[in-house]
Amino acid sequence: MISEPIAVIQHGSKLARFARRVGIVVPLGVSEVSFSPDGRLLAAASAEKKVRVWDIASPSVPVQIATVTDRRDKVVTISFSADGRLLAAAGRAKTIKLWDLTNPALPALKAVLAGHRKAVESLAFSPNGRLLATASIDGTAGIWDVSEHSAPMQLASVTDHRSVVTSVAFSPGGHWLATGSLDRTVRIWDVTSPTTLVRTATLEDHDRAVQTISYSPNGHLLAIGSWDYTVSIYEISSGIYSLAGTVAGQDKEILSIAFSPDSKLLAVAGSGKIVRLWSVADPTSPICVGTLAGHRGEIWSVAFSSDGHYLATGGADGKTRLYEISGSAREN
C-alpha cells in the first residue's frame, strides 16, 4: 500500500517532505527493523518466531524474498554485520543465531551462540564485523568473536549492571562499547582488547530505565533514550563524554532512537504512536522538525537506511512502515 505524503515539515530553512509510506503487515508486532549496509535489504523481526527479509531495490514496492523461521524463539532483536553477509537474530530462547545472507533468498544458519541465562534484548556488530555484542535480561552483556562465522567464541562478559541490560552499541570506530540498563545507567567500555574490557565512564542522567542507545555515525555524539520520556545527548571528545543537550517534549516512554547517516537528524519513537524527528546539528539545542504518524500502537524500532533516503519503523500494530525522505530533508 502506497499512501500520499503524510507530512510536510520545515527542516531548518528548507521544506522536508516525508512520503510514500509502505505498509507491510507482520502478525504479533514488529520488534525490530534493520537495513542491510548496502540499503538493498530490509529485515523485520517479530514475536511470531520469524524474521522476514525484503528486497527494497524498488522501495515503493518491497518484495519479500526470504523468511527465517525459528520455531523455538520469539525473535526480539536483529542486526546486520558491516559487510551485510551475516544477520544475527535473538530473543526469548536465550541463544543468538547467525544467518549467512550471501544469497539473501536462501539464508543459511551458520552458528548458534549460547551463554546467556535469559532472553536476549539487543545485538550489535562491531564496525569491522569481527565482534558481536549482546544484551540480556540476565543482567549481562556478552562480547563474542564472530570472525569465524561457523565457530564463534565468547570473549568477555559485562556483569557490572544491577538490572536487565537493554541495549548495546559500538562506537563507529569500534573503540568503545556502550551498554544501557534498567538500572538507569549507561556504561562505556574500552574494547580495544575485547577479552579484557575496561570501563571508562558511567552515565547517570536519567530518572528511569534506559531502553535504547545510539552513537552518531560521525562518532561525535551518543544518544540515550529512557522511560523518563527524554533522550540525553552526549558529546564525545578524546574519549570524554559530556552531556550536551536533552530531547524533551516526548509524551511517552522512549523505546527506539536512530541517527541519520549524516548525524544531523535523530529519530525518536516509543509508546506515543508517532516518530518525532529532531535536528541535532546543534546538540545543545535539539529542534523538533517534524512528526511521522501512522502506527496504531507503540513503535518498537526505527532505522535509517545507510544513504539516509529512507526511514523504517516497526511496532505493536504488526506493520513495518517505510518512509522516503526527500533530498531537501537530507540537506541542512
Residue 236 is part of a domain; what is its CATH number? 2.130.10.10
Residue 134 falls inside a structural domain: yes
Residue 163 falls inside a structural domain: yes
47 or 239, which is more confident? 239
Residue 209 falls inside a structural domain: yes
Residue 38 falls inside a structural domain: yes
Average pLDDT over residues 66-75: 81
Residue 116 falls inside a structural domain: yes
Highest mean pLDDT among 51-60, 157-166, 317-326: 157-166
Cα gap 170→214, rounded to integer Å: 8
CA distances from 59 to 7, 228, 325 (A): 18, 35, 12
- Residue 233's pLDDT is what? 98
Q: How many domains does the chain have?
A: 1
Residue 1 falls inside a structural domain: no
Residue 2 falls inside a structural domain: no
User: Which residue range(s) make up the domain with 244?
Assistant: 7-330
Average pLDDT over residues 176-189: 98
Q: Is the pTM of this model over 0.95?
A: no
Average pLDDT over residues 185-204: 97
> Half-sphere exposure of 312 toward its Cβ, with a 13 Å CA cutoff?
29
- Residue 102's pLDDT is what? 96
Under the banding of pLDDT at 50, 70 and 90, the label for residue 3 is very low
Residue 290 falls inside a structural domain: yes
Torsion angle defined by CA atoms of residues 152, 156, 162 and 166, in that order, rounded to the nearest 10 degrees: -30
